[in-house]
Structure 1
Amino acid sequence: MLHVTNGDHAADAIRAAGAPGPVLPWRDVLHDGPVPAGLPLAELSRIRAEFIASRGWASPEDAERSFRERDDALAAARDEDEVVLWFEHDLYDQLQLVQVLDEAARLPVRLTLINPAQYLGPSAPEQLRALFHLRAPVTPAQTALARAAWEAFRAPDPRGIQSLLETDTSALQHLGSALRRHLQQFPWTTDGLSRTERQALRSLADGPGSFAEAFAANQARESAIFLGDSSFLGVLADLGADPDPLVTWDDGAPVRALAPGVTIASVADHRLTLTDNGRAVLEGRAAWAPRTDRWLGGVHLRAGESGWRWNDDTGQIEAGTGRTGESASAASA
């Protein structure tokens, strides 16, 4: 028996609960960085490893080795009698779940699913043992939905996700809300900010606060927490890109993503401040034009272009119109 789960915290908890067999942490932040369509697992894992290394979360060698060992462990599960999938209800886990289901369904092995609306890492051993005994066989409807979601998430056109959300997604009970949350990570039609970017700015609206405080405030605004502290620092770094940063450290220094010498522990107590440009965007007096390229699944959002936008009034994803308009500095001058 092999157990597959979201990461090391959950894997340690499952082991501590006495689950029979090895536990494989999937370890990938699929909501962050490129996840392009049309690639086999090995090639996609190479791209993901390069992205993880580029963010400073691991060395290139460690990232490549981690993905290779992970993929090999899943492939070897063809010799197991059962693969148990343990995934939570949030966006981070649901994206992993549809990827793993798409891949594991190819194996000649019994698949079972544990998909609670709770976080596995902090769960007590007796809670995890109870969940283990309640595991259910993966159904053909769940596999088909997972494959459709995985294809839509990796597509260069996010309207496939929108179309999927207009169908019945109840076979995977948490998938619909997770994919909707993913679409809210696109720039909004109102101000060019994603939901997470807006939440980050709001955490500083009443004055400077530490990175740890801003991160906690962001988590408190989520009904299903999915974003880790390293990804949140990356969000702040994007908002702090020149020219016209929306946020800086309290001393005026630019916010940087993880790099040699920059760790979460080293910046946790550093204080962040909203710039005049940031306040203008937050108050609706200007729109934000992202300064850095980024990927949301298979969609490549290019700096300075409106690209795809989320309309929160209609709950729809919309095509942009090219270059973005008025800058924050022009509006706040």
Structure 2
Amino acid sequence: MSKESQAQRRYAKNLAQAETLLAAYLSGDANAIARIQNNHPQGQEDGFVPTLQDARLIVSAASTKVRRLSLEKLKKEAKDLFKRLKASHLDALERYQQNHPQAADKLASQLKLADAQWVIARENDMPSWPRLKAHVALMNRVEIPAQRARFILDRDMTTIHIRCGSDIKAALSEAGFKGGFLEISNPFPQGNVVAFDPLEYFVDARAHFITQSYGGDVAPEWIENTADDIRHVEAVLRSLPDGVERIALWFEHDPFDQLCLAYVLAHLAENQLGDVKVELISAEGFPGVAHFIGIGQLCRQPENLIALWQARVEVNASMIAFGARCWQAFIASDPTPLWRLTQEEGAPLPLMRHAFFRMLQELPWVDNGLSLTERLALQIIDKEGPVTLDKVFQFLMTEMEPLPYLGDIMFLSAIRPLWNGKITALSVVSRDVTKPALQQELLCVNEVGAAVLAGEQHWLALKHKGCNEPSERWVGGVLSNAAGRCWHWSEQLKQPVLFSYR
């Protein structure tokens, strides 16, 4: 199933659950009332009456939480599913069709309990029932801190852990890891990305973008040392493997992480690694998480990181070379070589291939000039508006985005041009600058936005009219909103094309 189809299914599933939750609340069901009151910011206020949107926010947030798995409950789920399969219940048959690798070869009458167990395992991001049982057993072993000490983890080698962001730093320590930590917080999915040589040109280009794009929405201390932080990361990467025996790379499946991974691998391709081990800890799902967004979700239970560590893989020369090729293609002014890399079947880093394909969809689309992020945001606001961006961002990340990768301030930076300027696709219904950045504007789609969504107008053509010159937008090294003619994404061809617009 495609990532886009999965997003549509998530929306439909969350909507159905929200309708059930709201109906139960309104009928006086005690469990539904408690759930909404305990999970909605206004749930405890007198006179609060939830809407369907409120219920959807609660349901969508719940889908990202980590559920601790119990083998007994999993066995019961498998038995219940098996009974429903034998009775030909549509929901059970649908789950079977979606998750059983041999669904096309077996009729419902031929199924055994093992088939239901296989479905349960696949629904929990495990390839088989034995692997799911092994995962549950491991989690039970490391749940108690005293038991974690039995695991060697990274104590057998001098190790540096590299991660985009600091979300797992404390959890690594709590789980028992002892190695050093390097945080890379450079938001490569946005802004002009140039080669890291010469160093100062790279530092200046990225620091300028970060401070100009995010400076008005974050506390000054968050970005005041941006240039020095970039230089520090570069110094460490350029010096590797000095002082370490192992380089541990913690990157999940989304474009932000995979861009950082490609950036690191491009550095490692230029270094003399010798006998140093390079290992990758990656994930595109985790047992017990209905909608996996990233490793950061797992940090409330540090033992989850131990489970990921057990599944790490050694990074070989072909992986390093592929990552370096992807990085060089991403910073090029022509996106065609990058698109070709995304089409390489059997590529040594398949998650990177998929993530860069998603990044190419941030080019303006041929039909209306919107990037995929802009398109999805407008669709959400069109359904939910008037609405504030914090709710739009939650629906984007938990339902609509095929590969969630944006931080909230990155999202705000991407979407703000839709209501800033002489020609806008969104109208500001009200504004309260005393609130957090994503709650300040109450937004709705206006006539221009509706025309753009319908493909009746081209967004870039509108923004370039008269004096409404838009700020530069980049996808890596590609200027994605040059006047008159620039690279676009063709959804029909599934590739970038040079396209002229008026």
TM category, shorter? 0.7 to 0.9
Q: Residues 169 and 268 from structure 1, CA distance in 2 versus in 1: closer, same or farther, beyond 3 angstroms?
A: farther
Is 1:284 matched up with 2:455?
Answer: yes
Local SS of the residue matching 1:83: strand
Q: Residues 49 and 16 from structure 1, CA distance in 2 versus in 1: closer, same or farther, beyond 3 angstroms?
A: farther
Q: Residues 305 and 216 from structure 1, CA distance in 2 versus in 1: closer, same or farther, beyond 3 angstroms?
A: farther
Are 2:343 and 2:353, in contact at CA under 8 Å, matched by a contact in 1?
Answer: no
Q: Output the aligned Cα RMSD.
A: 2.2
The residue aligned with 1:309 is 488
Q: Which amino acid in structure 2 is aligned with residue 268 of structure 1?
A: Q
Q: Residues 240 and 107 from structure 1, CA distance in 2 versus in 1: closer, same or farther, beyond 3 angstroms?
A: farther
The residue aligned with 1:101 is 265
Could you tell me how far apart the structure 2 residues matched to 1:132 and 1:38 are? 30
1:49 is aligned, of 199, 207, 211, to: 207
Q: Residues 112 and 30 from structure 1, CA distance in 2 versus in 1: closer, same or farther, beyond 3 angstroms?
A: same
Q: Which amino acid in structure 1 is aligned with residue 448 of structure 2?
A: N
> After superposition, what is the alpha-carbon deviation per residue over 1:26-48, rounded to whole angstroms, capped at 9, x for unaligned?
11110100112473455323321
Could you tell me how far apart the structure 1 residues matched to 2:327 and 2:346 are? 13
The residue aligned with 1:294 is 473
The structure with the largest alpha-carbon Rg is: 2
Q: Which amino acid in structure 2 is aligned with residue 89 of structure 1?
A: H
How many residues align? The count is 315
**Which has the larger helix fraction?**
2
1:232 is aligned, of 408, 411, 419, to: 411
User: What TM-score do you get using the length of structure 2 for normalisation?
Assistant: 0.59
> After superposition, what is the alpha-carbon deviation per residue over 1:57-113, rounded to whole angstroms, capped at 9, x for unaligned?
567641112112222333444221111011010000000001101113414332111
Could you tell me how far apart the structure 1 residues matched to 2:250 and 2:317 are? 18
Local SS of the residue matching 2:279: strand
Q: Percent identity?
A: 30
> After superposition, what is the alpha-carbon deviation per residue over 1:209-257, rounded to whole angstroms, capped at 9, x for unaligned?
1111111122121232101111111122121232211113213x7x9xx
Is 1:64 matched up with 2:239?
Answer: no
Is 1:84 matched up with 2:251?
Answer: no
Is 1:121 matched up with 2:283?
Answer: no
Is 1:188 matched up with 2:365?
Answer: yes
The residue aligned with 1:330 is none
The within-5 A match list for 1:229-268 is 229-251=408-430, 265-268=436-439
Q: Residues 169 and 241 from structure 1, CA distance in 2 versus in 1: closer, same or farther, beyond 3 angstroms?
A: farther
The residue aligned with 1:4 is 162
Q: Residues 306 and 262 from structure 1, CA distance in 2 versus in 1: closer, same or farther, beyond 3 angstroms?
A: farther
Could you tell me how far apart the structure 2 residues matched to 1:242 and 1:97 are? 36
Could you tell me how far apart the structure 2 residues matched to 1:236 and 1:210 are? 12
Could you tell me how far apart the structure 1 residues matched to 2:201 and 2:346 are? 29
> How far did 1:274 drift?
1.4
Unaligned runs of 5+ in 2: 1-158, 286-293, 464-469
With 202-211 and 30-39 compared, the bigger mean Cα shift is at 30-39
Are 2:358 and 2:403, in contact at CA under 8 Å, matched by a contact in 1?
Answer: no
User: What TM-score do you get using the length of structure 1 for normalisation?
Assistant: 0.87
Could you tell me how far apart the structure 2 residues matched to 1:262 and 1:230 are? 17
Q: Residues 309 and 23 from structure 1, CA distance in 2 versus in 1: closer, same or farther, beyond 3 angstroms?
A: same
Higher relative contact order (CA 8 A, sep 6+): 1
The residue aligned with 1:74 is 237
Unaligned runs of 5+ in 1: 256-260, 326-333
> How far did 1:140 drift?
1.0
2:331 is aligned, of 147, 151, 154, to: 154
Could you tell me how far apart the structure 2 residues matched to 1:194 and 1:104 are? 32
Are 1:11 and 1:121, in contact at CA under 8 Å, matched by a contact in 2?
Answer: no
